[in-house]
Amino acid sequence: MKFLQRIAAAFLLAFACTPAMAQEHWVASWGAGQAKLAGEAIPAEGITYRNIVHMSLGGKSARLVLSNRFGDKPLTIGAVSIARSAADGAVTNYRGVTFSGKADTVIAPGATIYSDPVAFDVPTLGDVTVSVFLPAQTVTLYTGHALAHVTNYSAAGNLTATAAMPGATRQKDWRVLVGLDVMAPAKSAAIVTFGDSITDGAGTTNNANHRWMNHLAERLQANPKYRHLAVVNAGIGGNRILHDGGQPDARGGQHAAGIERWSYDALERSGVKYIILLEGVNDLGRSSILREGKGGPRQAKSPEEPVTADDLIKAMTRMIDQAHAKGIKVIGATMTPYKGANYARPDGLEARQKINAFIRTGGKFDGYVDFDKAVHDPADPESYLKAYNDKDHLHPNDAGTKAMADSIDLSIFK
């Protein structure tokens, strides 16, 4: 009889806990587009990399996403911690992070891993520091994000449990860390902003978190109706929809074409419900030139470089279909103007208008945001308003990214 009573009590306890457990799930609160970065020979004392990341959605429990996607050999991780960020690479309130109960782990070539959950107060719209200690080894290729537009740090030795980082070297990249998830209520979801340098943050003030996706996250958190939504950046400088770009030792690293990285940088993010797609300007620009050389723009010679508006529309349609197959909505963002940029040509500007017409009226996207309208000069629609771009005619400044975010009708996130 007592045995049956114990069985009944266990059943009732499990039944009572199930709804509470079902009310929460993992949601990506921060992420970065993944690129292939040049490696190094790590010395005997090892190196600690401190990645400083700006969160969108807060929570009481976190898990880290570490990657060796582009590595050609196992990557040994000696220790990892998560902490609140302080000045000059220092941290407070750090907590050790484990992997299957152990402080160290090895990431196989091509693999991405999740840490064990760690009790940590993740701040909404606040900075978190993730310290990754790599012991002595030869790393041929890192997986990371080359241009973080924030200052990160590295120093010799295992400093994962140390508040200060004396003698640290400043870093431009995020290394090994590619995502940070929070445990969030059932209705919570992630918005992934997918694109190139305009989404990545080029043209904005470093260390200020003034990307258009940051401004969007602030708007969402200011409105109680939308506070359950996170915003994750999957922009990569120089990225194109149809062609790979860069080299591991280049300023922006080496990155796969947007249509190829769409799966791991967007569709596979934890809790993703919406993707905002803003990409294509580099495809059009690079159809005319490969790069700005000493003697001026160098014309493309490879038959694989030129693309048309129809090529990009076909690729966008394929990306939308892939997202829809996973129940994810895709919101199109009209391409911003670029007249005056070093790769602007009349045929590219004309193609931009055709693509924007498809985004607005083609019927494939689940909605659209009109970034073109938000930032162009009404007197010259192929150009930015000077207040929104005062340098290169391509990348919006802080005021421009805010205008882009402010133009989004939040009701699109139904």
Of 144, 182, 149, 155, nearest to 57 by C-alpha is: 182
pLDDT of 138 higher than 70: yes
70-91 pLDDT per residue, tens: 999 999 999 999 999 999 999 9
pLDDT tens-digit readout, 314-326: 999 999 999 999 9
Q: pLDDT > 90: what percent of the chain?
A: 86
Whole-angstrom Cα distance, residue 171 to residue 151?
6
Distance, CA of 348 to CA of 345 (rounded, Å):
5
Report the pLDDT averaged over residues 97-122: 98
In this prediction, residues 245-262 reach a mean pLDDT of 95
For residue 312, with 0-12 CB atoms within 10 Å meaning exposed, 13-18 middle and 19 or more buried, which class applies? buried
Identify whether the C-beta of residue 382 lies closer than 8 Å to the C-beta of residue 346.
no
Identify the pLDDT of residue 1.
46
On the CB side of 304, CA atoms within 13 Å amount to: 7
In sequence order, what are the residues at sequence separation of 6 or more whose Cβ sits closer than 8 angstroms to the Cβ of residue 243?
257, 283, 286, 304, 305, 307
Position 305 confidence tier, pLDDT thresholds 50, 70, 90: confident
Q: Of the candidates 201, 275, 270, 273, which has an alpha carbon nearest to the alpha carbon of residue 235?
A: 201
Predicted local distance difference test score (pLDDT) of residue 7: 42
Q: Report the alpha-carbon distance of residue 410 to residue 414 in Å, rounded.
A: 8
- Is the model's pLDDT at 148 over the cut of 90? yes
Nearest to 70 by CA among 177, 144, 143, 147: 143
Work out the percent of the chain whose per-residue pLDDT is above 70: 91
State how far the Cα of 290 lies from the Cα of 171, in Å rounded to an integer: 28
How far apart CA 337 and CA 242 sit, in angstroms, is 20
Q: How far is CA 171 from the centre of its chain?
A: 18
pTM listed for this prediction: 0.92
Length of the chain: 414
- pLDDT higher than 50, residue 399: yes
pLDDT at 222 over 70: yes
**What is residue 323's three-state secondary structure?**
helix
